[in-house]
Amino acid sequence: MKDDKLYRELSNQIEYIACCIGMFANRFSITNQEAYRYLLEFGGLSFLYEFYDVEHTFPIDDAIDDITKITQRNGGALYD
């Protein structure tokens, strides 16, 4: 039973982060692969993982805004 709950939580987290990668790619007109590499390099994925418990409660556009700001602070060059 405990393993089922952990599996569901992890599955939800993966699905959420994958969705954020896709939405980020759409916003900046880049591929999902480019978005993944960019977010990995400039801390966006770490941010989503670390703050999933809070971020997933907000609209997805807010999460994209947040990771855009995080990546910019970490040297990323994509802008709205």
Give the span between the Cα atoms of 48 and 19, in whole angstroms.
11
pLDDT tens for residues 19-63?
Answer: 999 999 999 999 999 999 999 999 999 999 999 999 999 999 999
Q: Is the pLDDT of residue 80 over 60?
A: no
Distances, alpha carbon 41 to alpha carbons 8, 14, 35, in Å: 27, 18, 10
